[in-house]
Amino acid sequence: MNTKQRIMDEALTLFAEKGYGNVFVAQIAEAVGIKAPSLYKHYKSKQDIFNAILDEMKQRYDAQAEALNMNGNDATADAQMFAGISEDALVQMGIGLFSYFLHDEYAGRFRKMLTMEQFRNPELSQLYTQQYVDGPLSYQAMMFTILTGEAILAGDDVNVMAIQFYAPIYMLLTLCDRHPEREVEALRLLEQHIRQFNRNYQV
């Protein structure tokens, strides 16, 4: 495997565990199996490694956003996807979102890193908010626009529906980032939440 890629990968793992400032280039090098000075043949500084991780994550996010129409540009394009959705399908979609966020190897490490670094500069704040708040909310709002439009659910304000649907997912996700052992409990509560949500907005 490409050494440049492996450096990024091991660095992300370490940054996610300890935070950027508490990781030393020697540790990254050791994880890769080389000595610290060798890193500088691939990246010009420690910050450069961090930036590379950021760039890759932005690329992945954009690719995913495009695939899911999370930009809201082409909101009704996949109306069919939600058109005939049942309570069970809604549960599956919420749990799927949660599980993807929680278990995707790269995404999970990146989220923890960003959680720790989010206050360091405005770009990181923006990125966090886009990926874990505004992005999901606008996607959910789009979904509820379709579901209420098709009279599958009944609600006046799709933005309120979106936050009521998504905020518990978000909170349980960040809970499990701290306490992976509470995943079962979180999943149970999440399912109950979504079933209740569905009842709350029944037509």
44 vs 179, beta carbon nearer DNA: 44
> Would you state the structure tokens that stand for residue 36, as one six-digit string?
């610290």
Identify residues 12-71 at the interface with DNA (CB under 7 A): 23-26, 29, 33-38, 40-42, 44-47
180 by Cβ neighbours in 10 Å (0-12 / 13-18 / 19+) ranks as exposed
Strand partners, 67: none
Task: Kindly report the number of other CB atoms within 10 A of residue 148's CB atom.
Answer: 18
Contacts of 27 (CB under 8 A, 6+ apart): 14
To a copy of itself, the closest distance from the beta carbon of 126 in angstroms equals 8
Residue 5 as a binder of a copy of itself (CB under 8 A): the answer is: no
Rounded to the nearest 10°, the torsion over CA 116, 122, 127, 133 is: 80
Picked from a copy of itself, DNA, none, the partner binding residue 125 (CB below 5 to 8 A depending on kind) is a copy of itself
Q: Which of residues 89-128 bind a copy of itself (CB under 8 A)?
A: 112, 115-120, 125, 128
Contacts of 14 (CB under 8 A, 6+ apart): 23, 27, 28, 31
Closest among 128, 121, 112, 117 to 173, alpha carbons compared? 112
One character per residue 24-63, x = contact with a copy of itself (rule: CB under 8 A)? ----------------------------------------
Considering beta carbons, is residue 6 or 195 the nearer one to DNA?
6
Binding site for a copy of itself (CB under 8 A): 16-19, 21-22, 112, 115-120, 125, 128-129, 133, 155, 157, 159-160, 163-164, 166-168, 170-172, 175, 177-179, 189, 192-193, 196-197, 200-201
In the complex, the residues that contact DNA under the rule CB under 7 A are 3, 23-26, 29, 33-38, 40-42, 44-47
